[in-house]
């Protein structure tokens, strides 16, 4: 850890204000180039604490940068995680006010709800599959607070991994009834197919992403409680959206979900 608590708190306020006021900022590592991973997560957790102190409910957890292609592109070896807020929930089949965001992008994901505690280290796909109650189709709305998407991974972690919103819909299923790695996804924007993918895009298996989350949290002495809603990471690349855009995502065996930005 290279930053003291006063600096962590100052940066948490700075980054959270950017989110709440929809104002772009420059990446925080410009001013704090020696910031390490612990500092980055400390800023994220300080933002989380600020929200909880104001009454925001933490609605779940998310994994980000789970596709090998995206990790390679950003020169990182490890995915990142963040949290989801109650106010980030957006209606399936409904309208989403685009002015809530700076430069939103959407990515198709698989979400799960657990019914057992997951604890690392050593958490693996088997433990995760045994602890998933239901699997749900979901779309994440990411909205980096950094100007022109110029960021590095530590700045992204501090910015709660660009988490901004999420839409959950379609049909839920038990994991035993699905083959998650081959589960196909088709994303349409304004009636045209813009992205295709399969569950294996997420670390080979979306359950591997949940296992990695449990193992990363164990490094902080934390576990994933039963009943946690988890977005496992993008199956498709993130697609830019603006007011007027309609998004529809079809999931093999899980129905479809749609919404529009106004
Ligand atoms: O959910 C994610 O994959 C996090 C992406 C963070 C970087 C970005 O804003 O593209
Ligand atoms: Mg995501």
pLDDT of residue 160: 98
Percent of the chain with pLDDT over 70: 100
Confidence of residue 57 (pLDDT cuts 50, 70, 90): very high
> How far is the C-alpha of 3 from the C-alpha of 175, rounded, in Å?
42
Q: Confirm or reject: Cβ of 139 under 6 Å from ligand 1.
A: no
Which ligand is nearest the CA of 65, by number? 1
Give the DSSP letter string of 182-202: G-EEEEEETTEEEEEEEGGGT
How many whole angstroms from 131 Cα to the centroid of ligand 1?
26
Nearest CA to ligand 1 atom 4: 64
Contacting residues for 226 by C-beta, under 8 A, at least 6 apart:
114, 115, 116, 117, 131
> How far is the C-alpha of 6 from the C-alpha of 239, rounded, in Å?
37
What is the average per-residue pLDDT within 225-232? 98
Fold of 5-261: Fumarylacetoacetate hydrolase; domain 2 (3.90.850)
> How far is the C-alpha of 83 from the C-alpha of 152, rounded, in Å?
19
Which has the closest alpha carbon to 186: 176, 195, 177, 178?
Answer: 195
> How far is the C-alpha of 57 from the C-alpha of 228, rounded, in Å?
13
Tokens 């304004």 map to which residue?
Answer: 190
Write out the two tokens for 79: 């995915």
**Predicted TM-score (pTM) of this structure:** 0.97
Confidence of residue 186 (pLDDT cuts 50, 70, 90): very high
Q: Which residues surround ligand 2, an ion (CB under 5 A)?
A: 64, 140, 234
How many whole angstroms from 230 Cα to the centroid of ligand 2?
10
The answer to whether 111 and 232 are in contact (CB under 8 A) is: yes
How many whole angstroms from 235 Cα to the centroid of ligand 1?
12
pLDDT of residue 47: 98
pLDDT of residue 69: 72
> How far is the C-alpha of 118 from the C-alpha of 130, rounded, in Å?
10
pLDDT of residue 3: 97
pLDDT digits over 131-161, tens only?
Answer: 999 999 999 999 999 999 888 999 999 999 9
> How far is the C-alpha of 184 from the C-alpha of 251, rounded, in Å?
6
């Amino acid at each position: 850890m290279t930053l003291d608590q006063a600096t962590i708190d100052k940066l948490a306020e700075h980054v959270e204000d950017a989110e709440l006021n929809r104002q772009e900022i420059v990446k925080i590592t410009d001013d704090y180039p020696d910031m390490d991973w612990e500092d980055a997560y400390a800023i994220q957790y300080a933002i989380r604490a600020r929200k909880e102190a104001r009454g925001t409910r933490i609605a779940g957890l998310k994994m980000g940068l789970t596709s090998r292609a995206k990790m390679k592109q950003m020169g990182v070896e490890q995915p990142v995680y963040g949290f989801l807020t109650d106010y980030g929930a957006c209606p399936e089949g409904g309208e989403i006010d685009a002015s809530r965001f700076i430069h939103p992008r959407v990515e198709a994901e698989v979400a799960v709800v657990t019914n057992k505690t997951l604890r690392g280290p050593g958490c693996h796909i088997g433990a995760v599959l045994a602890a998933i109650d239901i699997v749900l189709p979901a779309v994440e709305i990411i909205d980096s607070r950094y100007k022109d998407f110029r960021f590095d991974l530590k700045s992204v972690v501090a910015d709660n991994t660009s988490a901004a919103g999420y839409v959950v819909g379609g049909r839920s299923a038990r994991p035993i009834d699905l083959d998650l790695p081959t589960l196909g996804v088709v994303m349409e924007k304004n009636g045209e197919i813009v992205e295709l993918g399969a569950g294996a895009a997420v670390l080979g298996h979306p359950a591997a992403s949940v296992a990695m989350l449990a193992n990363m949290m164990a490094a902080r002495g934390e576990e994933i409680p039963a009943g946690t809603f988890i977005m496992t990471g993008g199956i498709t690349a993130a697609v830019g959206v603006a007011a007027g855009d309609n998004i529809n995502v079809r999931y093999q065996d899980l129905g479809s979900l749609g919404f529009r930005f106004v």
